[in-house]
Structure 1
Amino acid sequence: MADETIKKSRESLDKKPNGHTEHVEIEAPSKVTHSRGELSEEELLNLRQRYPLLANASPEKLDALNKARFLTVITLMLLMNYLDRINVSNARIAGMQEDMHMSDVEWSAGISLFYVGYIISQVPANVIIAKGRPRIILPCVMLAWSAVTICMPAAKSPWAFMLCRFLVGLTEGPFLPGVALLSSSWYVKSETSLRMGIWHAGNIVSNAFSGLLSAAILTNMDNLAGMHSWQWFLLLEGIVSILVAFVGFWALPNFPDNTGGGYFTDEETQMAQYRQLVDAGGISEDDEGDYWGGFFQACKDPFTWLFAGMHFAIIIAQSFKDFFPSIVNTLGFNKTLTYLIQAPPYIVAYFVTLLVSWSADRHLEHCWHIVGSMLACLVGAVIMISTLNVPARYFSMFLLCTGPFISLNIQIPWEVSVVPRPRTKRAALIAIANCVSSVSHWFSPYFFLTSQEPRYQTGGGVIILGCGLTIIFCVATRWYCQKKNKEIEKEQEQTGVVNNWRYVT
């Protein structure tokens, strides 16, 4: 929410040799400019009195502790989460739809039912996570969806497929909002976009990894032990996901105010709480709000619905994702090459996302970064439906993959920046926006039918519509932020009380 979260800040990304943690180092200045104004050294000292291990620490000690740690297991868990969500896309190419005797409508219904379950569980689960222990809850959620994935190879009918997809969605629903909430509790405003970009890599990398994994499994394991290759694909992925979930019990933290040991000493834990307290102008995440109080606060806040609309539009623009292997398949390459060439667009998308996210953090600006990214996606959709030239169509897939991933990665930090406290309200906003966006999956799968190959004109039109709506909601949100800032400035002029709180645009 601040135009400048920490004055004279210095950020660096550093990984330990063992690859477990990343560090963000920030200088400890004598005064800190945050979202509520300027804190003097005396005020900072008063805040530190809440933390016995920091109260009498030397400036050198505070500087050494003043870093945000987060575990790379988040990216690994997200990789498996997204891989589990999109695995049926490549399984479809390997014959899953034919083997289960499903029509296009039945297949699309299974894709849609995933998001029915996904929506049902998000809001109540994220509110519970906000007051609970994500170190326990998130790995348990992962074990649940992994168990359903392992059961899916046993499905023999369209109805069994639909039921499994519904249950996978129901068990996956709490995970992404929970991770977004956890991340926003460890990073300050000027860190969120790039750091969320790093853990959000699980989303992008999973798409690249899915193609490479498909090339290895789906082309070599058919009829092994009497099972189809797509059955092996789902089974092995579920097993790996279970292993990663058990790592999460050990490697994930809770929130800064209730995390335990592990990678964090008591001093580091108190410093993490102190950083968040300073960033919010002395208001801790749990100073107010019960389980459902934050939910009702979020429902009444216009920001919730602006960001929900923006998120909805971005996901519409990203609706090609569940059908990306089928779209690539229209380029006319053999099956192995089709799997392999899915990876480069997502790899490029990952590095471009990190670059643009870094820029958004550096300038504390979100709107125009999102607009530019969605314009690129719009161009990609136009190319996809207007030409059959193979190089041009493949180039369009780079634009399609890059635009929505960048926008989503910048939009989430934006929403948690303007609504930071209490944690239950932030949790509800994240979940509501994610729920609203997921509604698009109830109808968008029906726009990518095999009867419209290779152009997918209707699907391309939906992508263009999503890009346009994203830009509209983005500009509207920016206008509302500016309006709120002008109200703050007007009140400041009338009262004479200095207030440096500003809504980030």
Structure 2
Amino acid sequence: MSPTEVQKQEIGHLEDVAFSHGYTPDSPEERKLVRKVPMLWVMYIFNYIDRTNIGNAKVAGMSADLSLSATDYATALSIFFVGYLLNEIPSNMVLTRSRPSLFLPALMFAWGALTIAVKGVNSKGGLIALRFCLGFIEAGFFPGVMFLLSCWYKPFELAKRLAVFYTASLMSGAFGGILAGAITGNMDGVGGTRGWKWLFIIEGLATVCISVAAVFILPDFPHSTKFLTPDERALAIMRLVTSTSNDKQLTHWEAFKAAVSDYHTWLLTLAYMGITSAGTISYFFPTLMGSLGYKGVNVNYMTAPIYCSCLVICILVGFSSDHFKEKPFHIAGCAIVSGISFIIVSQTSSSHTVQYVFITFGGAGIWSATPLFLSYALSNFKQREKRAVAIAIINGLGNLASVYGSYIWPSKSAPQYRLGFGCTTGFILFGGAMVLLNRFLVGDLSKQSQADDDADEEARHQHHAAGGKSKLDDVEDEQRSV
């Protein structure tokens, strides 16, 4: 018997099990299953640390050692996103036909090795080249995670889970700042190596170790995850049947054409470009702490409370969004809070405490809007292959905005950095406005999804009772190709 026939037989068995047991939404079995799916949280912590530790290294002597000007540093930041854009869509296309439990850890192992390779960087040209390669490798991870989660969770379940997942970036900011202060302050010169290089070496080694462990704990797709029982796999498929498109499976080229021809893809891309452009402020937090009067390792340490505060706010906003089954207005509200906060920071010079507090609120607005936006974007595309390409386009072009976002914080604008805060305010408000425009054009997706779910559930039972082809058969066709 061929592998395809074996897989078809297995999925057919899952269908029989699912229908014989029936599907009851929000059952104890379903809640247990949802909690059982790993959230990739630890992996994302190290993904974000390896991407943003350059900011901590900058204030720990990297700029002086490599003779980096403000423009050189901005170029090293922005070139990362050029590589990121080039490989993002191809990576997500490959993911739809591969095993996530192998593909994502392989990416992680590769970028961990590249991070360690900073040990051999002794010029700005070497740094820029390595950052390009790092962006190229990391490109497949974040959109891949978004796509994988959308294959496990219903649209109205995603906001709080993406919020929790995204807190890994905030935790990495807090943990990364403390770790950077400890490593650069205590290991400078050990083994003839500068402290900022030890920062990359240690964090890269940790990333490689985590990637090996991830192979054994990550899920694949619902029908193929080995650590689930047959009943659990059947339930994982059935609970998503009503949230899955009836459309046939698309080839890579068909999915690409479908995504690029949908105006929602481009409207949401503009929104994400605004949000991610505002998010480049995180690369300059250590620099901003220096402008507030903090010195030495305290520059890195003082970034930790900002990230911890943002983490709590992000989770609360995510749970609120899922509770009310509403995303666009939550995103717009976060954008408004962030914009107002940065205006206050840029216009205040007499109190560093006030500036610090509103930098925190401004950052919380950006990082609360980001996971909400991603879950909202996923809900705009039901067809699986199209969704994979669309989210790669949105995330890729959105992150490309960081190319110019890296240049809005020139050292000559210190200590007020009015250009940076002004542009960041405009970016985040623009992102919020684009989300509201998309909401106006497509209506309330949560109500549409619920109506579709009710209709599909009724049709599914009627078809199965009549011996006809159920919607799960379409899911079977879609899953069989993985």
Please, what TM-score do these two structures have when normalized by structure 2? 0.86
1:366-445 equivalence runs, <5 A: 366-388=327-349, 389-421=351-383, 423-445=384-406
Tell me which of 455, 461, 481 is aligned to 2:442: 481
SS state at 1:156 partner: coil
Superposition deviation, residue 56 in structure 1: 2.4
Tell me which of 223, 233, 236 is aligned to 1:272: 236
Q: Conserved in 2, the CA contact under 8 Å of 1:196 and 1:409?
A: yes
Q: Confirm or deny that 1:461 pairs with 2:422.
A: yes
Tell me which residue corresponds to 2:218: 252
SS state at 2:186 partner: coil
Deviates more, 1:70-79 or 1:435-444: 70-79
Q: Conserved in 1, the CA contact under 8 Å of 2:25 and 2:239?
A: no
Q: Distance in 2 between matches of 1:396 and 1:419?
A: 36
Q: Distance in 2 between matches of 1:138 and 1:486?
A: 34
Tell me which residue corresponds to 2:268: 307
Q: Conserved in 2, the CA contact under 8 Å of 1:128 and 1:291?
A: no
Deviates more, 1:315-324 or 1:474-483: 474-483
Q: Confirm or deny that 1:96 pairs with 2:62.
A: yes
Tell me which residue corresponds to 1:183: 149
Tell me which residue corresponds to 1:15: none
1:482-497 equivalence runs, <5 A: 482=443
Q: 1:115 to 1:485 in 2, by over 3 A?
A: closer
**Residues 263-317 of structure 1, C-alpha deviations (whole Å, 9 max, x = no match):** x222211211111113337x38xx4212221121111111111111111010112
1:68-467 equivalence runs, <5 A: 68-72=34-38, 74-259=40-225, 261-262=226-227, 264-280=228-244, 283=246, 287-388=248-349, 389-421=351-383, 423-467=384-428
Deviates more, 1:361-370 or 1:91-100: 361-370
Q: Distance in 2 between matches of 1:153 and 1:62?
A: 51
Q: Conserved in 1, the CA contact under 8 Å of 2:278 and 2:366?
A: yes
5+ residue gaps, structure 2, are 1-10, 450-457, 460-482
Tell me which residue corresponds to 1:27: none
Q: Confirm or deny that 1:56 pairs with 2:17.
A: no
Q: Distance in 1 between matches of 2:414 and 2:446?
A: 49
Q: Conserved in 1, the CA contact under 8 Å of 2:23 and 2:235?
A: no
Q: Distance in 2 between matches of 1:56 and 1:486?
A: 29
Superposition deviation, residue 167 in structure 1: 0.6
Q: Conserved in 2, the CA contact under 8 Å of 1:379 and 1:399?
A: no
- Seq. identity, %: 26
Q: 1:167 to 1:61 in 2, by over 3 A?
A: closer
Q: Distance in 2 between matches of 1:64 and 1:221?
A: 51
**Residues 208-241 of structure 1, C-alpha deviations (whole Å, 9 max, x = no match):** 1111111211111111111111011000000000
Q: Distance in 1 between matches of 2:199 and 2:103?
A: 27
Q: 1:433 to 1:62 in 2, by over 3 A?
A: closer
Q: 1:48 to 1:140 in 2, by over 3 A?
A: closer
Superposition deviation, residue 400 in structure 1: 2.1
Counterpart residue identity of residue 245, structure 1: S
SS state at 1:218 partner: helix
SS state at 1:333 partner: coil
The CA RMSD over aligned residues, in Å, is 2.5
Q: 1:367 to 1:55 in 2, by over 3 A?
A: closer
**Residues 113-152 of structure 1, C-alpha deviations (whole Å, 9 max, x = no match):** 1111011100111111122211111000011111111101
Counterpart residue identity of residue 373, structure 1: C
Counterpart residue identity of residue 273, structure 2: F
Superposition deviation, residue 48 in structure 1: 9.8
Superposition deviation, residue 201 in structure 1: 1.6
Q: Distance in 1 between matches of 2:224 and 2:93?
A: 16
Q: Conserved in 2, the CA contact under 8 Å of 1:184 and 1:416?
A: yes
Q: Conserved in 1, the CA contact under 8 Å of 2:156 and 2:446?
A: no
Q: Distance in 1 between matches of 2:71 and 2:424?
A: 20
Counterpart residue identity of residue 416, structure 1: L
Q: 1:48 to 1:369 in 2, by over 3 A?
A: farther
Superposition deviation, residue 487 in structure 1: 11
Q: Distance in 1 between matches of 2:395 and 2:418?
A: 27
Counterpart residue identity of residue 301, structure 1: D
Give the number of equivalent residue pairs. Answer: 438
Q: Distance in 1 between matches of 2:74 and 2:448?
A: 47
**Residues 432-474 of structure 1, C-alpha deviations (whole Å, 9 max, x = no match):** 0011112212212111122211111111111011022112201
Q: Distance in 2 between matches of 1:139 and 1:487?
A: 36
Q: Distance in 2 between matches of 1:397 and 1:219?
A: 26
**Residues 307-356 of structure 1, C-alpha deviations (whole Å, 9 max, x = no match):** 11111010112121111111112111232322222111111111111111
Counterpart residue identity of residue 76, structure 1: V
Q: Distance in 2 between matches of 1:126 and 1:486?
A: 29
Structure having the larger proportion of residues in helix? 2
Q: 1:408 to 1:58 in 2, by over 3 A?
A: closer
Counterpart residue identity of residue 405, structure 1: W
Tell me which residue corresponds to 2:463: none
